[in-house]
Amino acid sequence: MQITRFDIPGLFLLKPKIFRDDRGWFSETFNAETFREALGFVPDFVQDNESFSMYENTIRGLHLQLNPYAQAKLVRVLSGAILDVVVDIRKGSPTYLSTVSVRLDATGMQQFYIPAGFLHGFRTLEDNTRIAYKVDAHYNAQSDRTIRFDDPALKCNWDLDGKEKLHLSDKDKDAPPFKSLGDVFQYDDMAGPVT
């Protein structure tokens, strides 16, 4: 498994081994032992999610679940492509409010590991984009929060030129700014494994 690290410790881009032959290919998309060997820990994933977006420039996010339902996520693309965007919102983190944008696509088969304590969202880069992600805490509607994807206080790079027609849910269109959230995550409580 190939691992790429970022300026924010704890985020990883993983590229599992792909076995190609005359029929096509095979890949283990998650193996707890391989994950442990690569990163030194294994998230306790409890839920697998998929979403399908019909249109390019669909934006989902920025989302989080409050504790005790805060989620680490392992995101990959099954068809199409996304720009995945995260923001470190762990108060006291050396990289507090730093943000990373990373392209994931079906052909690259990259997987993006995002620890708990981050805002997460993505923009589809193609029509008919389907993503799959594992999470280590169950969905909890009462803990679910959304923050404006284009909040200027967050400086996220969505790689937009302003001319695109964006597709957002009503919830995401009406999302409040980051400052309304308050300090919901403390770095000392959730620094997580950094390898």
Ligand X SMILES: Cc1cn([C@H]2C[C@H](O)[C@@H](COP(=O)(O)OP(=O)(O)O[C@H]3O[C@@H](C)C(=O)[C@@H](O)[C@H]3O)O2)c(=O)[nH]c1=O
Please list the active-site residues: 63, 133
DSSP 8-state symbol, 29? S
| Spatial distance between the Cα atoms of 117 and 60, rounded to a whole number of angstroms | 18
Q: How many residues bind ligand X (CB under 6 A)?
A: 11
Q: Which is nearer to ligand X, 63 or 90 (CB)?
A: 63
What does the CA dihedral 148, 152, 157, 158 come to, rounded to 10 degrees? 40
Q: Which is nearer to ligand X, 35 or 122 (CB)?
A: 122
Minimum CB separation from ligand X for residue 186, in Å? 21
Both tokens assigned to 175:
């999302």
Q: Is 117 in the site for ligand X (CB under 6 A)?
A: no
**Which residues are bridge partners to 121 per DSSP?**
85
Q: Is 120 in the site for ligand X (CB under 6 A)?
A: yes
| Spatial distance between the Cα atoms of 175 and 151, rounded to a whole number of angstroms | 10
Residues in CB range of 174: below 8 A, 6 or more apart: none
Q: Which is nearer to ligand X, 17 or 171 (CB)?
A: 171
Q: Which residue is nearest to ligand X (CB)?
A: 139
* Residue of 10, 43, 61, 117 interacting with ligand X (CB under 6 A): 61
Minimum CB separation from ligand X for residue 46, in Å? 11
What is the arrangement of strands in the sheet containing 99-105, beginning at the earlier edge strand? 99-105, 81-88, 118-124, 59-65, 144-146
* Residue of 2, 27, 49, 195 interacting with ligand X (CB under 6 A): 49
Q: Is 60 in the site for ligand X (CB under 6 A)?
A: yes
* Site for ligand X, rule CB under 6 A: 49, 51, 60-61, 63, 120-122, 139, 169, 171
